[in-house]
Copies of this chain bind each other. A is one copy, B any other.
Amino acid sequence: MTTDLEIARATTLRPITEIATRAGIPDEALLPYGRLKAKIDPALIPDTGRRGALVLVTGISPTAAGEGKTTTTVGLTDALAAAGMRAMAALREPSLGPCFGVKGGATGGGRAQVGPMEDINLHFTGDFHAITSANNLLAAMLDNHIHWGNALGLDTRKIAWRRALDMNDRSLRQIVGSLGGAANGVTREDGFDITVASEVMAVFCLATDLADLQERLGRMVVGQTREGKLITARDLKADGAMAVLLRDALMPNLVQTLEGTPALIHGGPFANIAHGCNSVIATKLALRLADVVVTEAGFGADLGAEKFLDIKCRQAELSPAACVVVATVRALKMHGGVAKSALAAEDVAAVRRGIANLARHVENCRGFGLPVVVALNRFSGDTEEEIAAVKEAMAALHTEAILCTHWGDGAAGAADLARAVRRMIEHGAEPYLPLYPDAMPLAEKIRTIARRIYRAADISLPPSVAKRLEAFTAGGFGHLPVCIAKTQYSFSADPTALGAPQDHILPVREVRLSAGAGFIVVVCGDVMTMPGLPRSPAAERIMLDDQGRIDGLF
């Protein structure tokens, strides 16, 4: 079997200058990083008045079987380009940490990949390193302020700002810092999150320009006084230097698919603690350059699409023209109760049971007023009857389920999907309907998502959490959207409840203010913001071969 890496290596990518020229990017706006990557300065792109159509790729609740959302995003973009449209993908940058754990790369698969895959999966153009630096400069300035006398009166028991590293490192989740005496500062509990979980990452992805970035950075809350007054990054005078560290990073990165279609890959906030989509700046730039822009949101549609619409599109005033929900027969079987080890056997009944999950995601996306199509990402073991079961069930919902084989066939494998998407775009869509208005009380926003998207009977809100929501509202943050952090594996907060559970209670455990990003994080159940490495991490098998090429990163 041919691996993703072998396919990537067998493909000769074109010079990025050529990709840029075909995408209508003038030379002066292009800052090459080697021959195959470039940053684009949006300020130097002439406004032709073009405003492309935005297509959201989302998916069913993820399973261990894998669904192929990124692969479908790439395949669809290639197919739209092959059909003669000016198409562009807008994707998230992968995090370095998981590459060395179990996940491997995050640049699609098969013949539907973006490249250069090694670069994109490793340091790329350094954006995440810049975000890590900005996060940690703020942390250093915070502890330095306390060390030199704490003039702002920060309550050191209630520091809200954590340090960050782009690494899977469980040892740093919970630490005590400033040990070893007075010269090392004021001892306190602290911890590191993985960089994609930093609020700086969320801010980076929601900012509309450099000025907005600095403004948002300044608003970020790092702690409070004993009297409860919030202390921000601006109070520490850290916002200017943080913006300086992020200046170059804020320019979107141009790369290409293996078929030579342009792709902007920029930003990558965690899809649990944050909103999980690529940067607003890249999406808006892509829409100015292309007639159709295909983008992706993290996790299943319950989390990803909801946050994409209620946070990113709301803040950035975007509205998608179409929504693609990705599913696989294998994953539907898992939602239907089949174990991963038993996926090879045909099981039409299990597929039928699992379709409940897909159907609910489709309904939810339609509830936002979006035209929806299902991409059934074919695996070689899928049988005709299993596929027919999905198509029939979707037809009953008046939704097309289109078989895709872009993993093996590239653009040709997503040609039918591209035709369907094109029809939806040409038909035109009304602006999407946000799930709740800004003015709705925060607790009610949570309840609305829980009932309408997760089909919960209600939420459980401990009095202490309700009180914090009231404090946020009193502090002027009541108008913000909410960003739910819960397991991605289920509509409920129980990761083992696959399929389409309903009438459950969504347990709200904790709420956190992300004043810079502009949302309230609502933690339901356990949420991990610093992953660990597995017993035998992928890093042990990543190495250079005798030609200096990178092996083991796939």
Contacts and interface: CB of A to CB of B under 8 A. Distances in A.
Interface string A513-547: 00000000000000000001101010111111000
Given A136-B167, A174-B180, A243-B543, 20 more contacts: A31-B35, A32-B33, A129-B133, A140-B168, A140-B169, A140-B533, A141-B539, A144-B170, A144-B532, A147-B171, A170-B184, A171-B177, A174-B178, A174-B179, A175-B190, A176-B176, A210-B544, A240-B539, A241-B543, A247-B544
Interface string A126-150: 1001101100110111011001100
B148 A171 contact: no
A230 interface: no
Interface in A15-42: 31-35, 39
12 contacts: A32-B32, A34-B39, A119-B248, A126-B129, A129-B132, A140-B533, A143-B170, A171-B184, A173-B178, A214-B544, A244-B550, A244-B553
Given A122-B244, A540-B237, A544-B214, A169 B139 contact: yes
Nearest to A240: B543
A243 B544 contact: yes
Contacts of A190: 171, 175
A245 interface: yes
A533 B144 contact: yes
A207 interface: no
Nearest to A172: B177
B184 A174 contact: yes
B148 A170 contact: no
Nearest to A177: B171
Contacts of A544: 210, 214, 240, 243-244, 247
A474 B184 CA distance: 36
A548 interface: yes
Contacts of A171: 139-140, 143, 147, 177-178, 184-185, 190
A400 interface: no
Interface string A218-245: 0000000000000000000111110111
Contacts of A183: 170, 532
Interface string A96-138: 1000100000000000000000010011001001101100110
A165 interface: yes
Nearest to A176: B176
Q: How many copies does the complex hold?
A: 2
A147 B532 contact: yes
B179 A141 contact: no
A247 B550 contact: yes
A172 B144 CA distance: 11
B140 A238 contact: no
- Which applies to chain A's interface (DSSP): helix, strand, loop or mixed? mixed
Interface of A: 31-35, 39, 96, 100, 119, 122-123, 126, 129-130, 132-133, 136-137, 139-141, 143-144, 147-148, 163, 165-180, 183-185, 189-190, 210, 214, 237-241, 243-245, 247-248, 532-533, 535, 537, 539-544, 548, 550, 552-553
A160 B139 CA distance: 26
Most chain B Cβ neighbours within 10 Å, of A143, A539, A540: A539
A123 B123 CA distance: 12
Task: Kindly list the 10 A-B residue pairs having the minimum CB-CB distance in the complex, ordered from nearest.
Answer: A240-B543, A174-B180, A129-B129, A241-B539, A237-B540, A140-B169, A143-B171, A241-B542, A144-B533, A174-B179
A125 to B, nearest CB: 8
A96 B177 contact: no
A528 B495 CA distance: 47
Given A33-B33, A34-B33, A170-B184, A210 B144 contact: no
A190 B179 CA distance: 10
A178 to B, nearest CB: 4
Nearest to A96: B133
Given A129-B123, A133-B96, A537-B144, A177 B180 contact: no
Contacts of A174: 178-180, 184
B100 A241 contact: yes
Contacts of A170: 143-144, 147, 178, 183-185
A532 B146 CA distance: 13
Contacts of A123: 126, 129-130, 133, 245, 248
